[in-house]
Amino acid sequence: MIYAGLGGVIIAVGLLWLINPAKRPNRIYGYSSHLANVNQTVFKQAQRRASLYLLLSGLVALLLGMLIHYLLHWDRFFIIWLLTGWLFIVLPVAATEDYLYKLLQKRGELPADYIKPDEVKHERVKGFKD
């Protein structure tokens, strides 16, 4: 039932963001990231896309939770569900960021200071840590 509860909460947040999206960037409500804050048009698209990805992720978690509980009766493996539940929160964020990156790159509005997280190179510098 861990997945079912998590899925229900994620669906509720996705519906809330879909019905009443954030009007401007803030740290408390709505989807906010470096790419989402490029301009107002992209911000609005980020709110909509993040809510849709949350709804999809929540629905998958809810259905998987019901399958685990009612059909498979694997509730005794709750530690596995606790350790893997974070994926349903991270995947919508990753999908939204990927969508925004492709959108901004297509429009030619990608910020000059943006570095893809997979392309960060850590080089040793004597005396300093990053």
pLDDT band at 84 (very low <50, low <70, confident <90, very high): very high
Three-state SS at 128: strand
Q: Which residues pair with 128 in a beta bridge?
A: 125
pLDDT at 104 over 70: yes
> What pLDDT does residue 112 have?
87
Q: Which of 66, 56, 47 is nearest to 3 (CA)?
A: 66
Torsion region of 73: left, alpha or beta (phi above 0 gives left; psi -120 to 50 gives alpha): left
> What pLDDT does residue 120 have?
78
CB 4 within 8 A of CB 66: yes
Q: Which of 99, 102, 106, 107 is nearest to 50 (CA)?
A: 99
- Percentage of the chain lying above the pLDDT 70 cut: 95
